[in-house]
Amino acid sequence: MFDTNACEERIGVTFKDKSILEQAFTHRSYLNENKDTGREHNERLEFLGDAVLELVITHFLYEKYPDKNEGELTAYRSALVKTETLSSVSESLGFNDFLLLSRGEAKDTGRARQYILANTFESVVGAIYLDQGYDTAKQFIYDHITNLIDAILKEGTWIDAKSRFQEKSQEVVGTTPSYRTVKEEGPDHDKHFTVGVFLGKEKVAEGSGKSKQDAEQAAAKAAMDAKGWEYDRL
């Protein structure tokens, strides 16, 4: 049973249309086991919320850092909207307590749950935008995402792993890394990729993600760790 009141309290928003909040937490897998509920899954809300999130964060960064170039701003934005960031925020908000999942998905608390939590955050943003409008959605994002930017910059987690690994590879061994997909799993709506990163014929590391780009970033980070290379900028 979905506890609407408790969920609204966690989010800090009272919805006019309660059903749209429940939809934001309804994973496709839940409907596969509960076909007669009349509910919709959250993928359309996720699609909308992703666009709202990107706009709000882009505008925030544009105004906060007037002296930064496009490449740096893009890297900052990527750090704010990456799976790890969004899933961590969702977890801190207690979204796990409200997810409507299949029995199988409910048992998985690993990387797959991270993706679900990140997608749910975007779905909630989409639901807030539809029900309450842009300003409320913006405030929700400011309360939970944009306020992380100072810590991200301090820790250096904004640095693009692929770019950094390429810089270090060219500097240390004179080779440009290449990436190859070694595994592709899951249905079309929930793909997972495993990518290997190579220096010449040597496979340095592998990484996984819900897109090839995410998997490549994970592989590059793993490769930096495998080589013992630091992330500070040249």
Q: Spot the catalytic one: 22, 43, 105, 122.
A: 122
Helix (H, G, I), strand (E, B) or coil at 133: coil
Q: Which residues are annotated as a binding site?
A: 46, 119, 122
- Catalytic: 50? yes
Which residues lie across from 195 on neighbouring strands? Answer: 181, 207
- Residue of 24, 73, 79, 80 whose CA lies nearest to 47: 24
Q: How many alpha carbons lie under 13 Å from residue 93 in its C-beta half-sphere?
A: 27
Contact 207, 195 (CB under 8 A): yes
Q: Which residues are annotated as a binding site for Mg(2+)?
A: 46, 119, 122
- Catalytic: 230? no
Q: Pull the structure tokens for residue 30.
A: 């839940």
Q: Spot the catalytic one: 50, 105, 131, 214.
A: 50
**Which residues, including other chains, have CB under 8 Å from residue 3's CB and lie 6 or more apart?**
98
Contact 231, 174 (CB under 8 A): no
The catalytic residue positions are: 50, 122
